[in-house]
Each structure stands twice: as structure tokens, then as C-alpha cells.
Chain A
Amino acid sequence: MSIVVEELSKNYGRQKAVDNISFQVNTGEILGFLGPNGAGKTTTMKIITCFMSPTSGDVNINGLSIHTEKENVKKKIGYLPENNPLYFDMPVLEYLAFTAALQGIDKNKIQDKIAEMVFICGLDEEKHKKIGELSKGYRQRVGLAQAMIHNPEILILDEPTTGLDPNQIIEIRKLIKRIGKEKTVILSTHILPEVEATCDRILIINKGKIVADGTPETLRRQSHNNEILRISISDAADRNEIISSLQNLESVNMVDPLRDDSGALIIQSKAGLSSRKNIFHLCVDKQWVLTEMTPIETKLEDIFRELTTD
């Protein structure tokens, strides 16, 4: 089940919340939707789920447009909104039955479906409690259960792990990964390691526009062509000489001594070049003992900061 977003825009008054974005999500893909607060993530999700109409543009879910086939589109989507709003005064089982009935599940199958969701989401111990009495982690599971109860082919999860403790986060992530094998998932989050842990593809959005789209690896490659190395050379040699010799290497762009006790140096190579061999040969020539040489990977955080700050 594919999602095709075409030139989607949404204005709130003069503010452009979503500004002419287009992308596609393929079946079985888990798409991480990243962006700073107010970037337009939630608005995009609200449009895809048919909660609000776009100012212009269209979303097609397997060929069904959100403008003309609202009811059918809604049936294919499971949605967990931001902050996971639920009826706190309803018991878990009753709430799931209500959702199942609203989604048009056959009366005879509702009980089986509920049992399945209770099992998948690990709600067995808490199923008779009122939702308001549950801990945040369990509420989140109820949120996931209600989103999946009609076996939708698409799951849209808006910040599914906000406010959970580290153990719960890992459990929910595992759950999403497991579900994501069969379904198309769009997941929005602020937590970058979460994206790396769960998503196949990343879409970064800033001020309503898409600023990056690709796997974590492609994004790293795109953002930083320059090789960055951390090296240490044993104390015997003169530090200034080391720095000036390294600086003179053809491939080296910049040498930056770390200001901690380690005495390590950060070496940035010129675009497209690698300095590893040169550094090794230099050390051999000068008879310095090279004790450390580690390539430093660009973190997703850095890519994110680079793309979303002015």
C-alpha cells in the first residue's frame, strides 16, 4: 500500500505550515518523519489521515484520493495522534470494542480482534482497567492497539514514544519494527536515535519544506564529503612540529588539537580526499608512534542541525 503525496500545501492564515511538499512511501517501508517543532510534520500527518483538508495538493493512498474517497482512505489508515488522546473514562476493552465498531469491523469478529490486539500490544494485565488509570506506557499501547485494530495497511504514528521511560521506548520501538514488516509506516519523532533504530528511510522537513530524503547512510554521505579523523601520536615528539607537518600534508584541510588531556588531534581532509595513508607515511618518516587513528562518522544530529538551522 503506497502513499503518494503530491504538491501538498496547507496555510494557517498567512503562515505556510506545509509548503508544496511531494514524496512517496512504498509498501513495507518505515519512514521517519523528522523536523524541528512547528516544521509541519503533524499538519502533514493530519492531512494524510483526512482530519483536515489541504489548501492545495493531493494525497493518494493506493490510488484513492483524500479529496474524493475520504471514507475509504480512513479505513486503510491507523492513526496514533500526537499526545495520544484517549477517553480516560472508558475501560480498555470497551474502548477497543468502540473503535473496532466505528471502523466497521464485523460484530462477530470484534472480540477476536480485541484479543489479538491485547496480545500483540501486551495489554493483558491491564485490560480491565480504565484508560485513565493506566501508566503512560500502557496508554501508548492502547493508542497503538486502537490504531491497528482494523488491520490497516498504513500506520501513521505521531511521536509514539514521547514521555515514555527508556524501557518502554525500546519495547514500543520493537513493536513498531515488528508491525512495520507488513505495513507501511510513517513515524514522526524528535528523537534521532529512534529514527536510526526503527526507520528504513528518513524525511527531514523544515519550515514546511522537505530538506532531506534518504536512508541514514545516504544522508551522511550527502551532508559531509570531508573525511574526519581523530589521531593520537605518542608524547615523544614535539606537538607543534606534529601539527605543522600534518597541516602541510596535501590532503589535509584543517588540524584541530583537542583541548582535553588525551592530546588527540582532529584532522579534516579536503573534499573528496583521504589523508589516512599520508598521515601513516608521515609518521613512519618522522619515526613518530601513531597510537590512534579513528574515522569520525557524521552523526544524524549534526545532519539534522545543519539542515534545520539557518
Chain B
Amino acid sequence: MNKIWIIAARELKTFFDSLTAYILLIAFLGISGFFTWLFGSDIFYIGQASLQPFFAVAYWTLFFFTPALTMRMLAEENKTGTIELLLTKSVTDWQVLLGKFLACLMLIGIALALTLPYYFTVWSIGPVDHGAVWCGYLGLLLMSSTYISIGLFASSITSNQIVAFLLSLFIGLFFLIIFSVLSSSSTGFIGELFDYLSLQSHFDSISRGVVDSKDIIYFLSISLFGLLLAETALAKRNIAD
């Protein structure tokens, strides 16, 4: 755990040193604030003391922002060769991966924490369903961890950051939209399978305040699967062919 934390701390510091963190935080707060308070179906338009408009916006913004965080993670190490230096230190592949995963999750956590004033503002306006709000935040974190592990996998198989970015968006798109479209156009077991794979329904139920173990397992298992694939890509160097 200590090694994971050392790697995570370094990555997090690199985010802040390279301005990535500031750009992401400002853009995230700007976009989510704009659509939550000022434009479209914002809080005043709905007329309810609810953070649903914010969760709906964050659902999309995180989809684009997470790959921007993860694309550098392993692709750059592959390109510059620092991966060799890192993996010949006294750490395992998993510690490296989890460290990087944790760093991305922490940065997204910080971004979400900075939106807490929205919550307090809405609270002061009217009666808020506190459970639904916290569940919404939990849902966003779980969804982000899914995208992070997909992004880490994409980043692990290439040394080009742009390829990593586009690939993780592409894979993410399946969970975001494509599975849901496929489920509506197919029936029976296939239809149910696509519906289960679609991220939307799981996120919606959590952000409404319904914490079902089925949804939690969904997010965690995709995260784990992404990390497993990334670890396999890292370990490929060992395969004797």
C-alpha cells in the first residue's frame, strides 16, 4: 500500500506541476456550473432543490475529462522508456497500476469536492434529498473509476497519448451510449445483456439515491476488468513467444 501511495502522490503532483490539474478543475467547474445554474434545464428551470442537473452534466464532462487524465499515464512511460526504470525498482506491476489509478481518482475526487458548494447552495434554497446527493457523488466516483481503468488500459497498449485518448473515448462510448442503443433494438437475453452493460441505467439508479449492490458490482467489475487488461498489457513483455 505504501508503494502505491508513493506512486499516486508523484502522479498527483505531476498533474499539478504540469497545469493539467488546474485546466481540468477550471474547465470542469466552469462547464458543470454553467449548465447547473445558468443554461438549459438548470436548477431554476426545473424549480426543485435537487442536484440532478449537475449530475447529468458531470456524467458527460467526466466522460471526456477522464481519458485526458489517463492518456499520459502509461503511454508516456512507454514512449520515454521510464517504465523500464519504474518496473525495475522494487515495485510490482499492480502497485504501479493502482498508484496511477488512485492518482486519477483523487484528482477527480478533488474536482467533485470543489462542487460541494453547489450542494450547500441548493440546500439553502430548499429541502434537499441528502441521500440522493451523496449517492450521486458516489455514482460519479464509481463511474470515473470505470473510465479511469479503461483509460489506463488504452494507455498501456500504446506509446502515443493521442491514440490512448481516442481509444479510451471509443471504448467508453460503448458503455455510455452504444450498449444502450443496442439493448433497445434487441430482445431477449441479448437485449438484457446490453442493457446490463450500459452505464446509463446503473448511474441513473444510483444518482436517484438507490444504492443497489448490482450497480456497485457493475462499476467495480468493469474497473477491475480494465485494470486486469492493463496489467496483462504491461506483463506482455514477459511472455515467452
Contacts and interface: CB of A to CB of B under 8 A. Distances in A.
Interface string B1-26: 00100110010001001100000000
Given A99-B89, A102-B90, A11 B241 contact: yes
Contacts of B92: 71
B91 A102 contact: yes
A102 B3 contact: yes
B121 interface: no
Interface in B8-46: 10, 14, 17-18
B241 A51 contact: no
A52 B238 contact: yes
Contacts, number: 66
B88 A79 contact: yes
A184 interface: no
A36 B3 CA distance: 38
Contacts of B240: 10-11, 53-56
Q: Which of A52, A56, A88 has the most CB of B within 10 A?
A: A52
A83 B81 contact: yes
Nearest to A150: B90
Nearest to A53: B238
B89 A102 contact: yes
Contacts of B17: 89
A85 B82 contact: yes
A101 B241 CA distance: 35
Nearest to A54: B240
Is chain B's binding surface mostly helix, strand, loop or mixed? helix
Interface string B227-241: 000000000011111
Contact of B237 (A51, A85, A88): A51
Given A71-B92, A85-B80, A51 B18 contact: no
Contacts of B88: 49-51, 74, 77, 79, 81
Contacts of B91: 102
A170 to B, nearest CB: 25
A189 interface: no
B212 interface: no
B122 to A, nearest CB: 39
A146 B86 CA distance: 11
A77 B90 CA distance: 9
Nearest to A82: B81
B87 interface: yes
Contacts of B18: 89
A78 to B, nearest CB: 9
A81 B92 CA distance: 18
A50 B85 CA distance: 11
Interface string A242-268: 000000000000000000000000000
Contacts of A11: 240-241
A176 B174 CA distance: 54
Interface in A257-288: none
A120 interface: no
A11 B91 CA distance: 25
A298 interface: no
A85 B89 contact: no
A136 interface: no
A247 B211 CA distance: 100
A207 interface: no
Given A55-B240, A89-B18, A104 B85 contact: no
Contacts of A49: 88
Interface in A42-67: 46, 49-56
Contact of A74 (B84, B90, B239): B90
Interface in B77-103: 80-82, 84-92
Contacts of A10: 240
Interface in B201-241: 237-241
Contacts of A55: 240
A75 interface: yes
A146 B88 CA distance: 12
A86 B76 CA distance: 11
A234 to B, nearest CB: 61
Interface of A: 10-13, 46, 49-56, 71, 74-75, 77, 79, 81-83, 85-90, 98-99, 101-104, 146, 150
15 contacts: A12-B241, A50-B88, A52-B237, A71-B90, A74-B89, A77-B88, A81-B84, A83-B81, A86-B82, A87-B14, A90-B10, A102-B6, A102-B90, A103-B89, A150-B90
Interface of B: 3, 6-7, 10, 14, 17-18, 80-82, 84-92, 237-241
Given A49-B88, A102-B7, A146-B85, 4 more contacts: A51-B87, A53-B238, A74-B90, A85-B81
